[in-house]
Chains A and B, each alone.
Chain A
């Protein structure tokens, strides 16, 4: 319960766009979860971004008080070889969706600020080029989870 209140407060404080305008936020994030790996290993973040507006919106960076470094990556498999590509920004098309999911786009989360456990929620701030920040609670899930 306390966590939900804190999350709500964090959302209110950090996303003025959500509360200042009378219109609904341009982009919504759902099914946000983090695959937690043991120790200080990089964790992966996943979500579904939905653009509710008429204009495309560009996600340019992600940050978090829980992780010192958050990068956007895309897993690519070509000729049977896996590698990751760094992603600078992701455009969510007007009235469209972009999925960050295992095997594709993902957030690489490093430098954990404090120990985390499955069941907790980490707050990540999604920064867009031309619309307000989106503060999103990511469910922490165990290493062998398949979804949120």
Chain B
């Protein structure tokens, strides 16, 4: 078909196709919409208890793109909002969502038992996993990712709030820390970048 076109059009089409091919092969730099933290944070590594009550390490998540963030189940507003936002991202990913896991790490291990976490994360998304553990284990994981949290003293009824970092940490399928989103609010950017991570060969 190209032979029938005027010469300049044929050359132009060939040039355009070549450029597209180069871009697809990574000839141009990958664009990330979130903050690229490749090489700046440790690979995903933890020793916690999963929401099934069993010990869990990052090995269980190998091969999946991971969106990890920190919160607690007694938080009525922001944590459910973040989980809802990440669930929306999963919905938009459609079949690709099978390659992704939402990991919710509790900064309130005293109240967040595995049973509590299980019902909680499953109310949001079937691919959401909850992590809890000893205070020491939680501190180790938060420290690795420079996440802060502070447990308020309880009121007369034993209720208390835990303030915590809002960032979402995104790991590729090899468990490498790749991206940070300030919060779960920027769903289009998270969806865009997670898709790219899924499509990465290695």
Check B73 against A37 for contact (C-beta < 8 Å).
yes
Check A35 against B166 for contact (C-beta < 8 Å).
no
Give chain B nearest CB distance to A137 CB in angstroms: 19
Stretch from B7-15, B42-50, B118-126, B132-140 contacting the other chain: B118-126
B interface, over-half SS: loop
Q: A35-B80, A103-B81, A109-B76 are in contact. Are A41 and B120 (CB under 8 A)?
A: yes
Check B166 against A102 for contact (C-beta < 8 Å).
no
Residue B96, interface by CB 8 Å: no
Q: Contacting A77 at CB < 8 Å: which of B73, B76, B119, B166?
A: B166
A residues within 8 A CB of B176?
A: none
Check A81 against B163 for contact (C-beta < 8 Å).
yes
**Mask: chain B, 33-57; 1 = CB below 8 Å from A; 0 = not:** 0000000000000000000000000
A residues within 8 A CB of B157?
A: 69
Within the assembled complex, what's the spacing in Å between the Cα atoms of A39 and B73? Answer: 11
A interface, size bucket: 20 to 34
Check B167 against A80 for contact (C-beta < 8 Å).
yes
Q: Contacting A102 at CB < 8 Å: which of B77, B120, B124?
A: B77
A-to-B contact residues, CB < 8 Å = 35, 37-39, 41-44, 69, 73, 75, 77, 80-84, 102-103, 106, 108-110, 142-146
Q: Told that A38-B123, A81-B163, A82-B163 touch, could you supply 19 new A-B pairs with CB distance under 8 A?
A: A35-B80, A37-B120, A38-B119, A38-B120, A39-B119, A43-B76, A44-B77, A77-B78, A77-B183, A82-B165, A82-B166, A84-B77, A84-B161, A102-B80, A108-B77, A110-B159, A143-B123, A144-B80, A144-B123
